[in-house]
Amino acid sequence: MSDRKQTDDEVLERNVEQLLTRAHEPPRISDDARVRILETLKAERRDRAMQNAESRGSSTGVWGWLRARPASVAAVAVAATVAVVWTSANYLAGSRGPTAYSNQGPVPVRKVLDDGTALVLNQNAEVEVLGTRHLRVERGEVLLDVAKGSERFLVEAPHGRAVVLGTRFVISAGAAETCPPDCTSASNRCPG
C-alpha cells in the first residue's frame, strides 16, 4: 500500500510540475510555497480517498448496511431464530397443521395414522388429527386401535378426553362416556 501511495504522490508531483512549466508564463513560486501546495493537494487527496472508502463501506452493500444498523441486525436475527425454532418444533412434533378425516358414507372407513394407530370411522363421524398421537373426535363414533408406543396417545371428545399408551376402544362425540369395543347398545352406553 505504501508503494501505491508513493506512486500516487509521484504522479501528483509530476502533474503539478507539468502544469507549472507548460503555462504561458510559468508562475514565480518559491520552493517552500511549492512544497506547501503539494502537501495540501496530497492531504486533500488522502481525505477524499478515506471518505470514499467510508461511504463505500457504510452505504453500499450488505456489509456496510449491517455495520451501520446493529439494532436492526439483532432484530432480524432474533426473528429468524424464532421462525426456525418454531418451524423445527412443529416439524419434529409431526404437526403439519390439523388433518381431518370424515365418513359421509354408510360403510365404516378405516384410516391409519403415522404412528400405526388405526381409526374406524362410522357413518357421519369426523376426527381431527392435532399432532402425533393426538386427535379430537368432532362428531360421530370412532373405533380406535391405538398402537403401543412410549408416548401417550391423547383423544379429545366434547365430554372429556382419554389418555392411553396402547389399547382398543370406541369413543363417541355424542355420548357422555366411552365404551369398550364390544359395546353394542343402541344408546351408546356401556352395559352394566
**Any domain includes 48:** yes
Report the number of distinct structural domains present in the chain: 2
Do strands 153-157 and 134-139 pair parallel, antiparallel, or not at all (unpaired)? parallel
Is the model's pLDDT at 185 over the cut of 80? no
**Do 118 and 55 share a structural domain?**
no
> Mean pLDDT over all residues of the chain?
76
What residue has cell string 344408546? 187
Q: Among 68, 85, 114, which residue terminates a domain?
A: 68
pLDDT interval class at 149 (50, 70, 90): confident
Q: Are residues 63 and 6 in the same domain?
A: yes
- Residue 184: pLDDT band by 50, 70, 90 thresholds? very low
All cell numbers assigned to 177: 362416556
Give me the pLDDT at residue 4, please: 62
Q: Which domain holds residue 49?
A: 2-68
Regarding whether 107 and 61 lie in a shared domain, the answer is no
Q: Is the pTM of this model over 0.75?
A: no
In single-letter form, the type of residue at position 169 comes to: F
Please give the Cα distance from 158 to 137 (Å, whole number). Answer: 8
What is the tens place of the pLDDT at every residue in 8-58?
778 777 877 777 676 666 667 788 887 888 888 888 888 887 777 766 655
User: What pLDDT does residue 192 have?
Assistant: 39
Q: What is the pLDDT of residue 89?
A: 65
| 158 found inside a domain | yes
Q: Are 99 and 128 in contact (CB under 8 A)?
A: yes
155: CATH: 2.60.120.1440
Model confidence at 127: pLDDT above 60: yes
Residues 107 and 42 grouped into a single domain? no
Per the domain annotation, does 157 fall within a domain?
Answer: yes
The mean pLDDT of 70-93, rounded to a whole number, is 73
Q: Are residues 104 and 145 in the same domain?
A: yes
- Pair 64, 104 in one domain: no
Single-letter amino acid, residue 108: P
Q: Are residues 126 and 62 in the same domain?
A: no
pLDDT of residue 33: 81
Distances (CA, A) of 142 to 55, 160, 169, 172: 69, 15, 8, 6
Q: Does residue 49 belong to any structural domain of this protein?
A: yes
Question: Does residue 186 lie within any of the structural domains?
Answer: no
| 147-174: average pLDDT | 85
Q: What is the pLDDT of residue 126?
A: 92
